[in-house]
Amino acid sequence: MKILFINASQNQAGNTSRMGKAFLKNKAFEQINLVDYKIYQINQHYPDDQFGKVLA
């Protein structure tokens, strides 16, 4: 099983990230920072939307 930590905070190295890393400290995990991607609101479709990339 692979653990994926999705950080939705606008601050990549803030409290949310630190708490997630502390919680998962003895486990192998991958972190995704949503701030690194361009994701539009629901029902808005633009060619540069990267939501599909995050899901993959």
Return the closest-CA partner of residue 37 out of 22, 52, 25, 17.
52
Q: Dump pLDDT digits (tens) for 1-56.
A: 889 999 999 999 899 999 999 999 999 999 999 999 999 999 898 999 999 999 98
What angle (nearest 5°) sits at the alpha carbon of residue 16, between those of residues 41 and 6?
Answer: 50
Distances from the Cα of 14 to the Cα of 19, 22, 43, 49, 50, angstroms: 9, 12, 30, 25, 23
pLDDT, position 1: 82
